[in-house]
Amino acid sequence: MNINSEFLIDEYGVKSPKDLPLILRSLRHQKGYSQKQIAEMLGISQKTMSALERNASSANFSRIVKLLELLDAEIIIKSKN
């Protein structure tokens, strides 16, 4: 999946772990935050934030939830049926 940073995400399904970093980066761009700004709000280094946007599976779930809160986004889990 390739998400242009100009593309506005309203609702998007994550079908693989590789999708999440692209979505997180796109949401951050939509809100107008730099990696450094978000990193400071999360209490992590910009380097750690960059790593999270490259490979979100390296982050713990609570950090991803906090990041989504900062980006005014949420996780919704639903059955495929």
pLDDT along the chain (81 residues), means of 10: 45 74 91 96 94 83 91 82 72
Query: Can you give the pTM of this predicted structure?
Result: 0.76
Helix ranges restricted to H, the chain: 19-31, 35-42, 46-54, 61-70
Residues 6+ apart with CB under 8 A from 62: none
78: left (phi over 0), alpha (psi -120 to 50) or beta: beta
Q: State the helix-helix crossing angle for 46-54 and 19-31, rounded to 10 degrees.
A: 130
Residue type at position 38:
I
